[in-house]
Each structure stands twice: as structure tokens, then as C-alpha cells.
Structure 1
Amino acid sequence: MKRRKHSEKENDPQQCCVLCKLPDNSPEKYGEKITVTQHDITVHYFCLLMSSGVYQRGEENEGIHGFLVEDIKREMRRSSRLRCGVCKKKGASVGCSIKSCRKMVHLPCGMKEEFIFQFTGLFPSFCKEHRPSQSVARSSPLRTPLSCSVCLDSIEPVLSYTILKCPCCHSSWFHRECIQHQAWSAAMFFFRCTICNNKDQFQQEMLRMGIHIPERDASWELEENAFVELLHVYQHCDAVKCRCRSGRHYSASQGKWEVVRCKFCGSSGTHRQCSSLELYEDRWACVSCVSAVNGDDALPRHTQTPQSVPKITRRQLKRRSSLHSGLVCKRSSLRLNSPGEILRGLAGQISQLQSIPVVIKRDGAFKAALRILRHPNFTPHHALAVRFSGGKQCNDVNSLNLRRFMRLLVNEIQNSTLFEGPENTKNLTLDSQALRDDLYFDVGCMLALSLVHGGPPLHFFSQALYKSLLQLSLDSSPTLQDLGNTLLATKVKMIQDAESIEELKEAVRSASEYLHVAGCSQNVDSLSDKHILVDDMLNFHLVTRIHLPLQRLREGLNTLGLFDQIQMNPEAFSTIFCCPSHKISADTVADLFFVQFSDDVVKKMKETTINGFWRQYLHECEEGRCATSLEEILIFATSVDVEPAVGFSPTPSVSFLHPVDSVEVLPQRQPSHNHILLPVLPSYQLFKSHMEYAVCQLTVMQSL
């Protein structure tokens, strides 16, 4: 196996590479140019990696990163007898990896001839006839004109050597040269699709298509003092009227003249005295961020007094304007992020080196979560090591035990006495004992931890509860259905269904105690008064009286900073908290799985047929023509029936089994890797029966 490393050996720009015979020193194109003076050898590192007759047989500190000098000289002698098929000169050291192909080239000539060089495994090379290619799914419509997602120039959506596309989404197309520049700059840790932000599958495909991804930090991380501006703290009062005699730029270390920065953007500030803040208050939001978070209007500009403008130098004014414009762009990009991306960002606060043991006993997941929250040494920044009583401890925090624990926890919370109402549209209840025990805060903390640790989407908040939680204006008043099957719902229904003034007065008398507590008592003079009574009772029960539980729930949800992100992205997170309007579909499930085809042409043809069987089977499950459901198929592959809010990790994948006698082979599952293996079978009916048997067998075993 060839290995890639960086070198510190001296370079001579005047010497030519002994393999490609070029003096060019272009690390991005040909790799590092390395000179070994004692042996008078100069070589491009990529020329060594791609040469067909030399391998790294030494240690890392021997020769050139493991390429022994004797082996390099032997490769020089071998290639000196081979003629390049492009420039017709001798010294061609790179050959097509297909054994039946005899094409030989120099590395630079191969690039001109559109060879593909794969920087992985044994570093194979492929000529124009045998190189890997991409394909466009028939079901993905192309929108023209398209633009390169890197340079933004217009691009013709026709796949070729120079035009590539992202394998994960249908909207990211780019020039080969552009994506190579991006890979060189972003490197392994930051190189991902600029549209869908996929990393693992995207990098795997780019390596297959010959894109070199350096194994180092991104170029911007390596610059000296690259982030020095982040060390500057904003120290300026932006209040409409600054009362400080020392001016807007003065900031005391404490007291009323200390500048407090905006809790959202950090690039606006005010003296405590200028905004009437108490000495203990340190959470203040500027006008722009308040408007953006509440959705009142577009972001307004910061207001300044005419007297304050001349006192600011032009350099300071330029710096402030750039800071604010950058903030607007950043906030806009945050709003465009998916909840999964935001949750994955929050999960970066969790240390995988330290874990908290979680033991689920017979009393259930809720009690287990409560025990760890009430533990004096609890911190949300540690991973969770989950095990069920009687089972073995699992060392992998992203194991099946963790998924099962989070699924049980969310289910117990939504069915607890803290929530009421129909399934999938729950509202918060007022429980005095839960208030005394501070359970509302604990539940908020549990839900936040579940979402960040890879738990399922909640999907049980009513729209009214979600908007009340975020203090958003309700588009419509709460309805009787929001109450569910409760005693109060019966009394409210009697008032709503009253058809005469006598029936209405009788219904009001039966609910008089509740009306008195709610402050809704009034004389009923006409039948139309019932609508006002019903609205008042519903608003009091579902909004007004649960103000304190809502507040504690908000504070619990802000564990790991989740609620702050929800406030900045309310529409995106509504799909996580509230029940979605559409059910899971066959296309959705199919798109979750990355299909791993074989490199062998004959096997790939068979696998393509089985992939068609797989998609047909999913559609029949959606239409109810199979013994299994789409949710059961997800459980078979991943052990969960819905995609986690944070997304699957690793990405679900499908590969294929090629046994000699495939008739008796059943589909296999690797749920810890979100992977299933489909057998190559001769007919769809046989494939369907095998899938149904395997999935149903698992369903029966789990129900025991």
C-alpha cells in the first residue's frame, strides 16, 4: 500500500523530475518536488505515487517517504525503455491499471490526455477508455442553465472529464479544475459539497473521479494569525442616546458604564445605563437581532445620533460596516441551514473521551434520564454510555443502545402527564407537583439532549404549543381538538354545541368554577356569546395558565444552546417538533441509502438489476402491496423507524451479495453501520419474498 506524507527535504527548482522530465514545481498539480542531493535525484511526489513499477517498501524515514532510492532507480531504468503514448518520448512510468490495456504515459502527459489518477488504495491510473465515469439518474430533472457551484460561471450539465457532479444532490455541478482547487484549499477535514454539505459520500466519489484531497488542515487554518480578528472584542455603545460622559468608546470593567454586547451577534453594544439594564443583567439583544428573531420585519440598520457620527474615524466606520454586513450574511446562512446541520454543530460540544454511564432499569427511560440529570456531577458536554439492566456495557456512544434509549425516552415524555391532547398534537399541561419538582426544565433538557445525541424528531408538539414556546403570534386560535379527551373538553363542547339560550346557560353553570378561575365569568344574553366563551376558555387553558411551565421548558431546551438556535430558525425546527404534513415515502427511503456498486463490470450489471428490484419493493411497500412497511425496512437497516433529527451517521448504504448459490441467501443487516446487503437473485418475486421474510422475522423477534 502506498502512503502519502509531506516532506521537508530540500528542493531545487532548476532540476527536472527523473520520471516526468519536467522542472515544474507545482505542489497542487504534481505534488511536492523533492531532491535527494546525495543521490542526485529530483522527483515529483505524485509521479512516484502513480508510477506502475515502484512501491513503498521502506519505513517512513527511509528514502523518500518510504520509497527506497534503489527502487526509484530501478523504476527509472524500467520507464526509460517505455515510450509515452502522448509525447512519444521515452520515460513513461504511468500505465493504465486495466491489465489488458497497454497505454503508458508520463504523469503530466496523462493529465493532458484526460487520464484519471485515484489518490487512494494502490493509487491506480485509468486511461480515457477505461476511466470511471458518472451517470445522471433518470428521475432527476436537469434545470438549465446551471452554474458551477464553485466559480459560479455558467456550465453545461453534460458529464465529461472536465464536468463533474455531486453524487448526493442533483443541483451541484462543477468544473474539475474548480473542485480540485477547492479540495486543495479545504483539504480532508473541510472538503464537502458546497450545496448539500455532504462530506463522506462526496469525498469518496471525488477520490474515485481522480480529485486529490490533501491529508492536512485547510489552507486558511495554516496561515499565521489567520483568526487574530476574532480576539478583538466589540467595545462601543450603540444606544440611540449615549449618557456616558467619557463617550461611546468607553467601557468600564464593571458597573453601569460597562458595555454589554448583543447575545446574538456580539457586534452591537450598549452601556448598562444607556439601556436601563440592571447590574446583574448580561443578556441583551440589539434591535436588529430582536427584529430578525421575532420575524417582525427585515433587518433594520443600527440607529445613530448625528452627534456620534463625526466622532468616528473613517477606518472605524469601515470596520463597523463590514462587521454588520458580515453578520447579516452569517445570520442568513444560519437560517438556510437544515436542523440536522445545526444539531451536528451543537454536537461538537460533546466530548467523546468522557462519558456518563446511563443504566435503564425496569422503571423506564424517563427515570434513567432523570437520575443522570439530578446527579451532582452531571454535565451535558459528556457522551452517554447506555446499557440496559441485564445487558453488557456498550463502548460505542452511537450504538444501538443509545438509539433505543432516545426512542424510548421521547415516547415516554410525550405520553407523560406533562402533555395532553391528541397523538402528534400535544399541548403542555399545568401540573403543580411537576412545577415543584422542576420537571418541565428536566423534560426540556432531556429533549435537547435527545435531539443533539441522535434521537428521533419529536413530532408531537401542536402548532399552538410550538408557537407559544417561541412566543410567536398564533395564526389561529386554539381549537377544541387541541384539548383531547379531557373533562374540560367535555364542558367546552357542551358550550360550543348549545343550540338554545337555555342549553347555553346550563352548560355555563356546569363549568362555572372553571370560568371563575379563568376570569371568563360573564352573563350570557345571546347564543352568540358561546363563541367568545369558548375562545376565552381555550386561550386560558392552552396559553395563559402554562406561562411558567413554558418558561422552564424553554430554559431546559437551551441545554447546549439548542433553544437559541431554534429561535433563530423557527420554521426549520417546526418540522422537528411538530408532526409533518406528509408521511415517509418510498423515494425518501431510497434517497437515504448510498448504493455501493462493484468495480467489476459483470457484477455491476447484476447489481443494477437488484437495485431496480430494491426500488420497486420500496414503492410496493408504500402502496401497501407488501407484508412489510417502510418503517419496518428502516428498522431492519438502522434499528430506527425514522431518520434521527441530527441525521444518520454513518450514511445508510446498500451493497450486494454474490454467493454461488444465491437462491437461499437472505438479505443481511449491519444496523450499527446503517448497512444492508442485498442478495443477487434471478427474479423480482424471489427478491420480494426474501426481503419480506427477513424483515418480518426481525419484527416478530422484536415483539417477543
Structure 2
Amino acid sequence: MSLPCMLCGRQDDCPEKYGEKKTLHNLTLHYNCLLLSSGIWQRGEEDEGIYGFLLDDIKKEVNRAKKLKCCLCKNRGASIGCVTPRCKKSYHYPCGVEKECIFQFTDSFRSYCWDHRPVQHVHSSQLGGSSHCTICLETIEHTPSYHVLHSPCCKSSWFHRDCLQYQALSAGLHFFRCSVCNNKDKFQNEMLRMGINIPERDASWELEENAFHELLERYQHCDVEMCICPNGREFNKPDSKWEILRCQCCGSKGTHLACSSLMKYNQGWDCTECKNIVCTPGKRSRPGSLTPSETRGHLGYGMNQPSPKGPRKSVVLRPIHAISDILQDLRLQLCRNPIYLLVKKESIWDSSVKAFRKSSFSPFHTIHVKYKEFNLRKAYQEHNVSTSEYFHLLLKSLENSILFEGSERKNLSMDPDALRDNLYFEAGRMVAVALVHGGPAPGFFSRTLFYCLIYEPQHVQPILDDVADPDVLQAIRTIQSCHKINSLKSAVNQYFEYLQNTGSLHLVQAVSDKALLVKDILAYHVIRRVQQQLESFKQGLKTLGVLDKIQAHPTAFWSVLCMKQEKLTAKVMTELFTVAYPEDIYTNRQSDTSFWIDYLEDTEEGSTAVSLENILVFVTGLDSIPPAGFNPPPTVHFSHRAVPAADRKHNCLKLPILPSYIEFCKSLDQAICKTLPKA
């Protein structure tokens, strides 16, 4: 049988209500009864007596309490008295709790009777009405009382006293705070004043046996969207491409090295959730339409669409990084080990897919390209095949493939066969590899597709230009042209089946409702319809860490992915090419260099038979400067040779030393024109 407390006389053993019950040297006491008694203080250490109360002091307090009668239950042992001067009420701790007295578990542990207890003063504008207790979510009236407490830090937050007390006992001093705004100091001070007991101990969830046992377990699971490990997501083989690397920020997500195109275990990797947090220093206004003046320098943000509507990565406040520097950093992953791609020039897309899927292919190796004839057994090697030229042809083929739709600015198409064959992943991978290995800028992504790469797709709103299907375009224009509710309802009936099947059907009660219809049709047709294709494409773009860089530096990648390259100028070409001479040639080098510069300037003015782009194609195979720059840098070599020639593999233009500018210009015109396609 449980012994009664020597102060309150009750046998209850309820730590939540009365504190822990302890017996020592024939003294049985509730902790709260002892702690709040008016005639005793903790004069010992924590391990002396009972919680620091010395045995002699406890006996004296018990004897003192025997002389005092509780004004509530009329029994003796009333060791607690109201601290208000001239108030003579004495009571047991349990009786005081039942009578709604206030006990302050701080400082000198004062007690207040029901007549003198502290109250909360709430502004009249916050009184009346009801809301939900933010702990138990039950309805609560906005009237401060003993059982209802108002938050000192959140004007609209109200709590049940019992809810707060149980939360405080569970959370302890270190974790008890406002459940709405997370304020700790102001909230705790007010709750202590109003009689909430906040024990100075660790949280209950930290006191459980083996509370942190799971922290000793290493996370072993591949969480990327498309795991390519043949043995499954749980498979982990150290020192191989199937070793699982954990997120360097949270450690609670993982990826196989191969699944994220990582080459080394010590290479950093961030999971999607952490990447969103790291890349989001604060809330920003919505991104808006990009005017031509804005697209070259930064992403303009306004109120036009398309516009992400949720928390997003900041674009405006990021320092602008040069795209060449970003891609050069990614090139540091590449090793010098060569890998040869044998592709057909006439079917470069299909043959490239096969080459990329070979087990010997690795995006981390230096890529060399060989073209082969239609007969697979009769392959030949062109010594002047440049990697940049190959990627130019590949991206041009990709732009015009079935994977994209649209005229100039492309969005992903919905091709189930291509999705099943994983071609969208291959397309993303090829774009990533092309950018890092010196290929040209794609320049054909639509603004909506670009936003879907850097934001969550559900926060992106497409525009009318994104629609390539003429039937869908006609439906949208029909709905947009409605200026009366009857005509709008007629249009809805006309396209009822389509709207219902695409989840775009809404009840229309006003002409303004057509905006919501159009918005949902666009979102479905351009984004939701190709959600799987988009995710597969993004997985491919993660190769070599390209997608991470796009999301971290969207300003730099905007012009690369979405804008056609600017026209070349003579000044740009002069700075691009380095002029060199063999050591055994002694001639008027200044005159030869002047011929080259004059030729570039005349070409820009249209005085020669070619264009600056023709010259660059003649030397490198590209008509624009790739985002990562040329590797090796283009050079001009003067020598005693008969005609100009180009070595595309080394980006080298070999020019003859001629006595006059007219001869120089004529010879270069003829050499370049021979390589141009016939009109």
C-alpha cells in the first residue's frame, strides 16, 4: 500500500500533478508539496536529503505544518500560504491546484490563492470569438482565465493550461517554447508567471533508453529519382561506382556514385531538399517576363508570367558568375583518359545514343569522335573531327528530334515510346556532357522549360507561346475570346470532354473565370502532361553536376540554354585567335598580322565573300563561341604554304605569307567558300 505524503496526506502517486513521490528515513513526500512549502529552503546539495532539502529542515517543516489547518479541506498539514500581504489563507498543494491557485516554479517559489492570483491582461481587440488550441487543436474561447492562457508573443495564439503543462513536462526547460512562433524567453517567463511548471531537465524523448541509437546507423539507400543499380537501391559496394554517398548537409539521403554521375566518394553531393534550402537565402518576389534588355545580364522579376508561386531559389541577389568559369570548374572532374565515340554523321542522334549507352562510356573521360560510314565493318577516322563540331551536330539533331516540340523555343514533348526507351534521360545527359566538354550553347529551351529546371514545376505557369498543338491552341483562343458568360459556357460545353480528362474543368459563373480555365489548360498541356519526361530529362542533366550549377547560377545559364548566340564581331574574333609564327620564319610579322585583322574587319562590314561565322566554322566546326570556351584556344599560324587550311582538332588556322592584302583576302575567301554548303 502506498504511503501518504506527510504534508498533504494524500496517497496519490502522480508525478505529472504532484511531482515525484519519494520516501527517505521514514519521510514520504510529494516533490511539489515540499518545494512550495512556505517555511523551508534548499540548503543542501542536490544529492543531499530529498532533492537538496535537508532531513532536519524537512522534519521542522512537517511539525510546523501540523499546526496549520487547510482552509479548503480543513485537515492539518497546510504548509503553503498565499504570499500576498494580509492574506492568511493556508492550504495543501493538491487542494490549491483544485481551487485554481497559482504556484510559480521559479525564484522563491511563490504561491497565490484564488483571490490574489496573477491574471493576464489582453487587449480588448483580441477578446471574443474562438480558435483552436495550437497544441490539442480543440476549440478554445478567447477569454483569459485560469484554464485558458494567451501567448505573450503571438497575438492570435491561445492555449489550454493542461496542454501547456503536459508540453512543459515533456519538453523540459531547453525545448519548451511557443508552438507557433518558436519564441522561448518571453514565452517561458510568462508561463512561469502564470504557474506552468517547467522542469529543468532534458526532454522526455531524450531520456528514453537508446534514444539516440538510430544515430549510430549509417544511411544506406539510394534516393535519386532513377536508380540505375542492377542490385537495387539498398545495394552498397565500397570503392566502386555502387558505393552509396550520403548528403553532405543532412546525411539522411543517399545516392550511388553512378546514379548521380559522381566519380569520387569525396565529391560533395546535396540531396534535393538540402539543395533547396542552401540555395534559398530568403523569400523573393515572383519571377516575371524577361525583356531583351534583361536577359543578357540577369533574370528580370516582375508581375508578368510565367511565375513560380512558392518559396524559390533566389536569383537576383546571387553574384553573377561567368558561365565559362562555372563550366571550367566542372571540367576539373574530367580525366585525360581518352574514350572514342564511333558515330554515324547521317544518323548522329541514334548512333550517339548507342555510343553513350555502352558500358565503356564515361562522361568523366576525354571524348574523341570518329565518324563511320553506313557499313559498320568499314569505319574510317577523320583526323580533323573536332569534339565541338560533333556536339554542335548532336545538339542540332536533338533540337529537331521528337523529344521537343515548338518552333523556336522548345518544350518537352509527350512521347511514350521515347520515355519507355529512356531517351529523355539520354537527351539531358547529352546536353550536360556537351556543355562541359566544350560543345555549343543549346539556345533552344523555352522560358517555361528553363523555369521547370530551377523551380518546382508546380510553381511555374506556362504562356500561350508554349503550346505547339494547334487543337489545344484553338481551344485556348476560343475560351479567351469569350466576352459573355453564355459564350463562355458554350465554349466549356464544346471542350467539355477535353477539360474533364485533363482536370481543367471548372464551374464558370462569370466571364473572369476563363482565366482559371486557360491557366489550368496551359499547366496541364505544357507541364503536368510531360511530368515524367521532365523528371527523366532533369536526371540526365545531373550528369557531371550540371543541373546543380544551373539551379545555383540560373542567371549565367539563361543565355546559354534559352538565347541564340549574338553575332560575332571583328573585335571578338581578334581577341579569340592568338597569332603564332614558326621560329624559322623571319618576315614582316606586323604586316601579316595586319592582313588578318583587316580581313576580319572587312568581313564584318560585308566586303569579303564570307562571314565571321563562316571563318569560325572553317577553323573549329562551330559558328559561335562555346560557353566553356574552346579547348585548345584557337590560333592562327603563318607559314610558307600555298593555300589556307584548318586543323579543327586543334582549332588551328594555317595561313600563307603573301606579299599583298588582295592576294591574302582572295586566298582565304576561296579556301573558306569551298567548305560552305552549296545554295
Measure, in 1, the Cα distance between the counterparts of 2:652 and 2:627. Answer: 19
* Contact 1:386–1:393, Cα closer than 8 Å, also in 2: no
2:675 maps to what in 1? 698
Query: Structure 1 pair 693/494, CA: closer, same or farther in 2 (3 Å)?
Result: farther
- Establish whether residue 410 from structure 1 lines up as the match of residue 374 from structure 2: no
Measure, in 2, the Cα distance between the counterparts of 1:249 and 1:682. Answer: 84
AA at the equivalent of 1:252: L
1:252 maps to what in 2? 216
Query: Structure 1 pair 672/387, CA: closer, same or farther in 2 (3 Å)?
Result: closer
Query: Structure 1 pair 287/447, CA: closer, same or farther in 2 (3 Å)?
Result: closer
Q: Residue by residue, what CA displacement relative to the aligned partner does 1:173-193 show, whole Å, maximum 9, x if unpaired? A: xxxxxxxxxxxxxxxxxxxxx
Query: Structure 1 pair 427/598, CA: closer, same or farther in 2 (3 Å)?
Result: same
Measure, in 2, the Cα distance between the counterparts of 1:640 and 1:269. Answer: 43
Cα shift at 1:459: 0.8
- Establish whether residue 630 from structure 1 lines up as the match of residue 612 from structure 2: yes
* Contact 1:441–1:556, Cα closer than 8 Å, also in 2: yes
Measure, in 1, the Cα distance between the counterparts of 2:549 and 2:632. Answer: 24
- Establish whether residue 293 from structure 1 lines up as the match of residue 279 from structure 2: yes
Measure, in 1, the Cα distance between the counterparts of 2:478 and 2:589. Answer: 67
1:539 maps to what in 2? 523
Cα shift at 1:651: 0.7
1:559 maps to what in 2? 543
1:610 maps to what in 2? 595
2:237 maps to what in 1? none
AA at the equivalent of 1:370: V
Measure, in 1, the Cα distance between the counterparts of 2:635 and 2:396. Answer: 27
2:651 maps to what in 1? 674
- Establish whether residue 370 from structure 1 lines up as the match of residue 353 from structure 2: yes
Task: After TM superposition, list the pairs within 5 Å mapping 1:25-424 onto structure 2.
Answer: 252-254=216-218, 266=248, 268-269=249-250, 290-294=276-280, 296=282, 337-360=321-344, 362=346, 364-390=347-373, 392-394=379-381, 400=385, 402-423=387-408
Cα shift at 1:569: 2.1
2:45 maps to what in 1? none
AA at the equivalent of 1:628: V
Q: Residue by residue, what CA displacement relative to the aligned partner does 1:369-422 show, whole Å, maximum 9, x if unpaired? A: 2223443554433444432223755497xx515344322221221112221112
Cα shift at 1:699: 0.4
Measure, in 2, the Cα distance between the counterparts of 1:492 and 1:244. Answer: 58
Q: Residue by residue, what CA displacement relative to the aligned partner does 1:494-535 show, whole Å, maximum 9, x if unpaired? A: 333446656545544443332212222234455444333222
AA at the equivalent of 2:364: H
Cα shift at 1:676: 1.8
Q: Comparing both chains, which one has the higher relative contact order based on Cα–Cα distances under 8 Å and sequence gaps of 6 or more?
A: 2
* Contact 2:372–2:380, Cα closer than 8 Å, also in 1: no
- Establish whether residue 426 from structure 1 lines up as the match of residue 426 from structure 2: no
Measure, in 2, the Cα distance between the counterparts of 1:631 and 1:451. Answer: 20
* Contact 2:600–2:612, Cα closer than 8 Å, also in 1: no
1:651 maps to what in 2? 633
* Contact 1:291–1:297, Cα closer than 8 Å, also in 2: no
SS of residue matched to 2:401: coil
* Contact 2:427–2:540, Cα closer than 8 Å, also in 1: yes
Q: Residue by residue, what CA displacement relative to the aligned partner does 1:22-54 show, whole Å, maximum 9, x if unpaired? A: xxxxxxxxxxxxxxxxxxxxxxxxxxxxxxxxx
Identical aligned residues as a percent: 30
Measure, in 1, the Cα distance between the counterparts of 2:627 and 2:442. Answer: 8
Task: After TM superposition, list the pairs within 5 Å mapping 1:372-521 onto structure 2.
Answer: 372-390=355-373, 392-394=379-381, 400=385, 402-423=387-408, 425-471=409-455, 477-484=461-468, 486-498=470-482, 504-521=488-505
AA at the equivalent of 2:405: E
AA at the equivalent of 2:385: L
SS of residue matched to 2:575: helix
Cα shift at 1:426: 0.4
Structure of greater Rg? 2
Q: Residue by residue, what CA displacement relative to the aligned partner does 1:515-571 show, whole Å, maximum 9, x if unpaired? A: 212222234455444333222211222223322222111111112222223222222
2:623 maps to what in 1? 641
- Normalising by structure 2, report the TM-score: 0.51
* Contact 1:667–1:678, Cα closer than 8 Å, also in 2: yes
AA at the equivalent of 1:593: F
Cα shift at 1:601: 8.9
SS of residue matched to 2:627: coil
* Contact 1:358–1:384, Cα closer than 8 Å, also in 2: no
Cα shift at 1:630: 2.3
Cα shift at 1:253: 4.8
* Contact 1:610–1:681, Cα closer than 8 Å, also in 2: no
Cα shift at 1:461: 0.6
* Contact 2:371–2:381, Cα closer than 8 Å, also in 1: no
- Normalising by structure 1, report the TM-score: 0.49
* Contact 1:269–1:286, Cα closer than 8 Å, also in 2: no
Query: Structure 1 pair 577/681, CA: closer, same or farther in 2 (3 Å)?
Result: same
Structure 1's unaligned 5+ residue stretches are 1-239, 257-262, 273-281, 299-331, 660-664
SS of residue matched to 1:656: strand
Query: Structure 1 pair 381/244, CA: closer, same or farther in 2 (3 Å)?
Result: farther
Q: Residue by residue, what CA displacement relative to the aligned partner does 1:187-222 show, whole Å, maximum 9, x if unpaired? A: xxxxxxxxxxxxxxxxxxxxxxxxxxxxxxxxxxxx
Measure, in 1, the Cα distance between the counterparts of 2:339 and 2:449. Answer: 33
2:198 maps to what in 1? none
Measure, in 2, the Cα distance between the counterparts of 1:565 and 1:269. Answer: 20
1:260 maps to what in 2? none
Cα shift at 1:681: 5.2
1:232 maps to what in 2? none
Measure, in 2, the Cα distance between the counterparts of 1:488 and 1:358. Answer: 41
Measure, in 1, the Cα distance between the counterparts of 2:467 and 2:357. Answer: 32
Cα shift at 1:338: 3.3
Cα shift at 1:677: 3.5
AA at the equivalent of 2:279: V
Measure, in 2, the Cα distance between the counterparts of 1:510 and 1:688. Answer: 66
Measure, in 2, the Cα distance between the counterparts of 1:414 and 1:284. Answer: 30
Cα shift at 1:627: 3.4
AA at the equivalent of 1:629: S
Structure 2's unaligned 5+ residue stretches are 1-181, 183-201, 221-244, 254-267, 285-315
SS of residue matched to 1:522: coil
Cα shift at 1:439: 2.0
Q: Residue by residue, what CA displacement relative to the aligned partner does 1:4-26 show, whole Å, maximum 9, x if unpaired? A: xxxxxxxxxxxxxxxxxxxxxxx
Measure, in 2, the Cα distance between the counterparts of 1:365 and 1:678. Answer: 32
SS of residue matched to 1:494: helix
Measure, in 2, the Cα distance between the counterparts of 1:441 and 1:356. Answer: 21
* Contact 1:385–1:393, Cα closer than 8 Å, also in 2: no
Query: Structure 1 pair 382/682, CA: closer, same or farther in 2 (3 Å)?
Result: closer
Query: Aligned pairs, how many?
Result: 403
1:318 maps to what in 2? none
2:65 maps to what in 1? none
AA at the equivalent of 2:218: Q
SS of residue matched to 1:353: strand
